[in-house]
Structure 1
């Protein structure tokens, strides 16, 4: 996936506590269970105790709340707090050592000026970091438009709206996608993320691939100011701005869209709604990322697919971890937590509580096999 992102992160309230969190991460107290003869952490019978702070993509907030709750049920001595600081903040705090593991809506790449993959490898003492998918969910194009309950948008029309080229709801391009709708003669209020965001990167990557003649900025984590629109902090901020706005449209993880209607997106000759099942289908038609290592189960999504019942604008979120941790307790926690998240039980709990699409069994098995290699040394 070719990206033109700027991953220099300034996270409100986080910069001041990064060093403190790093100390907490190093000093988390746990009571580990049995270990193998070589000192590796044991599998699912390891007991984890202590308080842990992890964080990252705000789009994962609902799912992570479910998983941290479920994890405490199977590991009663452990308390896990997930901070929804954004994908960039999660990666930065993982690289700095403030988080033992982090959630991100984009896999690590080496791009100037941050070269995050190299930085994460250095943080993991020379080993390439583990990156496994934990979450697939549609990015819903949510809207609040007077008199409109259902909306179809082709890729070109969607790009035109967010690029600031289509400014009225009764524009001919929108009317062509919605011949039976009663579209108002009203100004469009497009809402975007104001913070650095993996959701924005995934959304704009889709626009650049599916409608590159209209969306010319490529994939970016920070919204281009030249395209205008209303900025809002975090996923919850976008949802609130669209809910409280007039004739507004925005993009957000579908699991957090609440009661807002979401547009159907043009795929081939059809318009597909953003269901969890349709979002999960895109992984089946997408290739592994070029140059991905054995620890990276990452994908370049096929945004131009014409496969039926496939929703193309999705978040494939990842958990980032080290293959080896200096402390056995840290390795036990990361391995146990990620194993729970990726387990059939954990994936179903996330689906039930947060509306995420469970990983396909084969993908789940591959991810668990990678996580099972986490050790201490």
Structure 2
């Protein structure tokens, strides 16, 4: 995280501190005239998961630990797939993931981090997945879903291809090879992107949505940073990444209902707001069913809904209490503002926050 982002936490971190200490504090030095509030939240958590959440997690952890100096949250950006594996193995107290466990995985259970097979999954990070490219002298391009699918399927291989040129008549496109970049690791961001391609261009993108890249074409990068580095260092390259980490690269505005929509937190939020929660899940398992093909006008159709995943019951009640406190902060208005400032994400709505807080409330702390 850049130093400027750390510095930007000051004002919002103060709000977060007030929020946290207001609900869980003791009055230090009672009877001595010292009424400085001190947090009773303490302990250490080990967590892994989504690299898309990295900037947000750094900001959340910084604000939370400032408000609660006896608490330590160690979040390691490993990618969503590795995070979920670690949660199953029991090596992570909670994880960040760019997709929820699917219904079959939830039914199978075996969550080694938990005392039971009941889990809490809450959406706390909504962000556009930017389609970013590196072409000299070109900062923006308009592309529809079928063209993007053709590029990443390896069917469209030159930047001056007619399919691209027709949508960008005022752009001087180079006679240059296209190098599409995907994730080398299992990634929820990748599943979000392939879900978009499969939904809007099924005749071109014939593979099922997956967190693992299904093709042998293109170049692979490890994690979000690997994809961004490959594009940054490769002229003619194009790839997809959480928008918080795609700054400074050329950006694609994507066709929706006849208009080209550039990515923004607001446009991504509009897609999620139009999406229902998946049916058949418990009240503490809040997984969205996002359909890019049904994106309303003005929305950005490749929106990442990223989750915090924890246990309803932990073996250690102190771990449970700390997980619950951290989740509550992340979902709070102050926590969402911290992430929006650091990562450009879209804060969850008040209505969704009510559902998220109810789900977090299922965590057993006694």
**Fold shared by both chains (TM-score > 0.5):** yes
Q: Choose which of 180, 183, 187 in structure 2 pairs with 1:190.
A: 180
* 8 Å CA contact 1:147, 1:182 repeated in 2: no
* 8 Å CA contact 1:88, 1:198 repeated in 2: yes
Runs of 4+ in 1 over 6 A off after TM superposition: none
Distance apart, 1:120 and its partner CA: 4.7
Question: 2:110 and 2:338 mapped to 1: Cα distance?
Answer: 30
Distance apart, 1:218 and its partner CA: 1.1
1:296 aligns with 2:289: no
Deviations 1:334-375 (A, max 9, x none): 000000000010000110112111111111121012112211
* 8 Å CA contact 2:49, 2:77 repeated in 1: yes
2:6 — aligned with what?
none
Distance apart, 1:153 and its partner CA: 0.8
* 8 Å CA contact 1:326, 1:376 repeated in 2: no
Q: Choose which of 255, 259, 263 in structure 1 pairs with 2:248.
A: 259
* 8 Å CA contact 2:39, 2:68 repeated in 1: no
Q: Choose which of 352, 356, 364 in structure 2 pairs with 1:363.
A: 352
* 8 Å CA contact 2:89, 2:113 repeated in 1: yes
2:202 — aligned with what?
212
2:96 — aligned with what?
103
Question: 2:302 and 2:107 mapped to 1: Cα distance?
Answer: 25
Q: Choose which of 164, 174, 183 in structure 2 pairs with 1:174.
A: 164
Question: 1:239 and 1:141 mapped to 2: Cα distance?
Answer: 10
* 8 Å CA contact 1:147, 1:184 repeated in 2: no
2:260 — aligned with what?
271
Question: 2:46 and 2:112 mapped to 1: Cα distance?
Answer: 21
Q: Give TM-score scaled by structure 2 length.
A: 0.87
Structure 1 gap ranges (5+):
1-30, 34-44
Q: How many residues align?
A: 332
1:139 aligns with 2:132: no
Deviations 1:277-296 (A, max 9, x none): 11111111111113222111
Q: What's the RMSD between the two structures over aligned residues?
A: 1.9
Q: Choose which of 58, 67, 71 in structure 1 pairs with 2:60.
A: 67
1:248 aligns with 2:237: yes
Distance apart, 1:48 and its partner CA: 2.1
Identify if the C-alpha distance between structure 1 residues 62 and 232 changes in structure 2 by more than 3 Å, giving closer, same or farther: same
